[in-house]
Amino acid sequence: MDISLRQLGRVDYASTVAAMQSYTAERTAETPDALWICEHAPVFTQGLAGKSDHLLNPGSIPVVATNRGGQVTYHGPGQVLAYPLIDLQRAGYFIKEYVYRLEEAVIRTLAHFGVTGHRVSGAPGIYVRLDDPFSHALLAQRPTQDNTRLAAPPDFTGLGKIAALGIKVSRHCTYHGIALNVAMDLEPYLRINPCGYSGLPSVDLSTIGVSVTWAEAADVFSRKLLTTLAP
């Protein structure tokens, strides 16, 4: 069954989450999968594992508690939000592979713009080298086949985070999703410990030298997601 793509534009965060919850609660075995692409006004969102001490100085930006996994993150203009609503049982893959496929779509999107995205062992999301975002050299801290590095805390030396993910699975069906930073005001990230990591730099395509519109990035990201999430 094909995934239907919906471009929502800039929408309210809380009402979008409510709509995803309704879609997931009401869907049947025949309900088509969907991919919602959107942008939000500035908001901090706190995951189920979120600790209040990671929220350093929210100021006037609202903080919304949510039922996705993970810690605190920031959403704002210039960021592409992708919310896949996928029946994993029907698609034929499990949560771990779902996360891998989400990250793979980011890596392929970055590659389209000449940037090399990296996974870091033990830390979901996608990262880039701050000194050379275009280098293809592998990271020492990448995940390994035998997961030997998982015992150690994630090593973010020389890296910036360009995409964050937080998901929820209910009755084998996914919601929430993944955010790709395109051309943002990155200052709000300084008001939190992004994803629970103190001092982890957050970057976007703009700050690493890639000039691209939100619409173009959203189009490429959508196409990569539709490919990687296919059954």
- Measure the N-to-C terminal CA separation of the chain; round to a whole number of Å: 8
Q: What is the largest CA-CA distance in the chain?
A: 48
Which residues sit opposite 46 in a β-bridge?
65
> CB neighbours (10 Å) of residue 110?
27
**Contact criterion met (CB below 8 Å) for 44 and 196:** no
Q: Is 195 a catalytic residue?
A: yes
Owner of token pair 């009401």: 26
Evaluate whether 42 touches 61 at the Cβ level (below 8 Å): yes
Q: Catalytic: which of 195, 217, 220, 225?
A: 195
Partners of 34 in the beta sheet?
Answer: 4, 85
* DSSP-assigned letters across all residues of 60-122: TS-EEE-SSSSS-EEE-TTEEEEEEE-BHHHHT--HHHHHHHHHHHHHHHHHHTTPPPEEETT
| Token pair in block for residue 158 | 């020389």
Pairing of strands 63-65, 43-46: parallel
Active-site residues, by number, are 195
